[in-house]
Amino acid sequence: MDYLQINGGRKLGGNVIISGAKNAALPIIAATILSDKDVTLTNLPNVVDIRTLLKLLTMLGGKVEHEGTTAKINNGSITSTKAVYEIVSQMRASILVLGPLLARFGECEVSLPGGCAIGQRPIDLHLKALEAMGAKIEIKGGYVRAEAHEGLHGAKIIFDKITVGGTENIVMAAALAKGVTTIINAAKEPEVVQLCEMIADAGVKIEGIGTNELTIYGTDRKPLTFKPVEIIPDRIEAGTYLCAGAITGSVITLNKVDERHIRASIDKLETMGCRFDLTQDSITIYPPQKIKPVNITTIEYPGFPTDMQAQFMALTVMAKGESIIEERLFENRFMHVSELNRLGADIWLKGNIAAVKGVDKLYGADVMATDLRASSALVLAALVAEGTTNVRRIYHLDRGYDDLEGKLSALGADIVRKKEVK
Ligand code: EPZ
């Protein structure tokens, strides 16, 4: 197993290119199931989750040519509609194949994803919505078995909670359903918007893109022909590098980034004393001498993203004063707290609220990554900790950050990947 060894205290500087967004690429890869023709995707991030979903497509019988940041996919040859446990257990976003498989083939089996390190993460809202569209669903042997042999039909879906994956699954299902589907309380994250635009560009009429109410006019099972899709920049990766600039007191420029998607993070960084130069596709961060504390509540887009909560917590650890962070989306997304405290942070946790008292110094230690964003928070803290920090279990990082150590090294960090000695 690999780990990252980081010697803290280095000033960073220079430019970093932001990769394509994992969370935009995953539903877009799943959406290719709605087509029986070639689809070309570019600007894919080089991360494990992308390779896992592409592997799932090949296991279903699809043809995938994947090189660098480009994949050419043809799902005209799909022969199986079963997403097996071995893949879904590696990556819960595999549930995104449920809607498109069911819509195109009228039946499918997808392993239940189960819980994960940040919370229970049920899929009840996905299933209830598909049932409203005419699917018969049973859960047996750890699998969701869904059938709609006559095809899905349009329906009015009201989500009790805003769900990104739920919205994506239903948009994909509705694209091939018979009739009109309305989704009320839909998610409007940039990743959902790009999926809707891809499907709309294939000729499916979708009203309300980028709002909380979507109306989709289905094709009645006619497969789609997609135009090539260039994946949008990863707003969470971008936010993570902004935090790297802020925590190390370094001027860093992000290239190939869309500032419109990260305004909530920029706003909080401004409150903490950072200044910015923005162009159409670049952001330069100028950090303050001393970071100011900030209060953060995670909420759906365009509010402050849960996927940036851990990284901002690392930043508040180094602020002068006390910050309060409230996590509203996932019930267990504070696993990084005890690891940050091992580095010398002073964080007090009660339920979904963390009170962070800024400290003057952190000290290197052995810490363990628990989920993707928690891992990047530990790396950020390690960049300023005195001495050596070993961040273990970094397979979480590899799932979602494209060459984190390469990009940080190029900015001047002292970070190397090592192998555990057994
Ligand atoms: C997506 O997960 C992202 N993953 C997550 O990013 C992100 O944290 C999350 O959205 C919130 O922004 C991908 O896009 C692949 P949800 P998703 O359905 O779709 C509850 C990362 O680090 N809920 O919007 O699974 C759920 O438990 C990852 O990159 C139900 O109760 O999130 C949560 O409390 C982690 N029933 C809330 O809704 C359901 O059927 C929002 O979850 C579905 C969700």
Task: Give the pLDDT confidence score for residue 420 in this predicted structure.
Answer: 82
Taking CA atoms only, the protein residue closest to ligand 1 atom 4 is: 23
Which region, left, alpha or beta, applies to residue 43 given φ > 0 means left and ψ of -120 to 50 means alpha? Answer: left
Q: Find where tokens 């498989």 sit.
A: 101
Residue 116: active-site member: yes
Q: Find where tokens 């006019």 sit.
A: 217
Q: Does 373 contact ligand 1 (Cβ within 6 A)?
A: yes
**Cα–ligand 1 centroid distance for 121 (angstroms):** 7
Q: Does 126 contact ligand 1 (Cβ within 6 A)?
A: yes
- Local mean pLDDT, 10-residue blocks, the chain (422 residues): 95 98 98 98 97 97 98 97 93 95 97 78 95 97 95 98 98 98 98 98 98 98 98 98 98 97 98 96 97 98 98 98 97 93 97 97 95 96 98 93 97 95 74
Q: Does 186 contact ligand 1 (Cβ within 6 A)?
A: no
Taking CA atoms only, the protein residue closest to ligand 1 atom 10 is: 164
Nearest CA to 81 out of 93, 98, 95, 96 is that of 98
**What burial letters (b/e) apply to 203-230, b meaning 16+ CB within 10 Å?**
ebebebbeeeebbbbbbebebbebeebe
Q: What single DSSP character describes residue 72?
A: E
Q: Which atom of ligand 1 is nearest to 373's Cα? A: 22
- Whether the Cβ atoms of residue 417 and residue 405 lie closer than 8 Å to each other: yes
Task: Give the pLDDT confidence score for residue 114 in this predicted structure.
Answer: 66
Q: Does 219 contact ligand 1 (Cβ within 6 A)?
A: no
Task: Give the pLDDT confidence score for residue 341 in this predicted structure.
Answer: 97
**Cα–ligand 1 centroid distance for 229 (angstroms):** 23
Q: Does 124 contact ligand 1 (Cβ within 6 A)?
A: yes
**Cα–ligand 1 centroid distance for 329 (angstroms):** 8
Q: What single DSSP character describes residue 292?
A: P
Q: Supply the Cα-derived Rg of the chain in whole angstroms.
A: 22
Task: Give the pLDDT confidence score for residue 28 in this predicted structure.
Answer: 98
Taking CA atoms only, the protein residue closest to ligand 1 atom 21 is: 307
Q: Which atom of ligand 1 is nearest to 161's Cα? A: 38
Task: Give the pLDDT confidence score for residue 156 in this predicted structure.
Answer: 98
Taking CA atoms only, the protein residue closest to ligand 1 atom 25 is: 165
Q: Does 53 contact ligand 1 (Cβ within 6 A)?
A: no
The overall longest dimension of the chain from CA atoms, in Å, is 65
Q: How far apart are CA 374 and CA 339, in angstroms?
A: 9
Q: Which of 158, 234, 308, 329 to mutate to test the pocket of ligand 1 (most atoms within 8 A of CB)?
A: 329
Q: Does 329 contact ligand 1 (Cβ within 6 A)?
A: yes
DSSP per residue over 240-288, as a string? HHHHHHHHHT--EEEES--GGGGHHHHHHHHHTT-EEEE-SSEEEEE--
Q: Does 399 contact ligand 1 (Cβ within 6 A)?
A: no
Q: Does 235 contact ligand 1 (Cβ within 6 A)?
A: no
Residue 14 exposed, middle or buried by CB count within 10 Å (0-12, 13-18, 19+): exposed
pTM, rounded to two decimals: 0.97
Nearest CA to 365 out of 338, 347, 395, 397 is that of 338
Task: Give the pLDDT confidence score for residue 1 in this predicted structure.
Answer: 85
**Cα–ligand 1 centroid distance for 278 (angstroms):** 30
Task: Give the pLDDT confidence score for residue 9 in this predicted structure.
Answer: 97
Count of other CB atoms within 10 angstroms of residue 361: 11
**Cα–ligand 1 centroid distance for 166 (angstroms):** 8
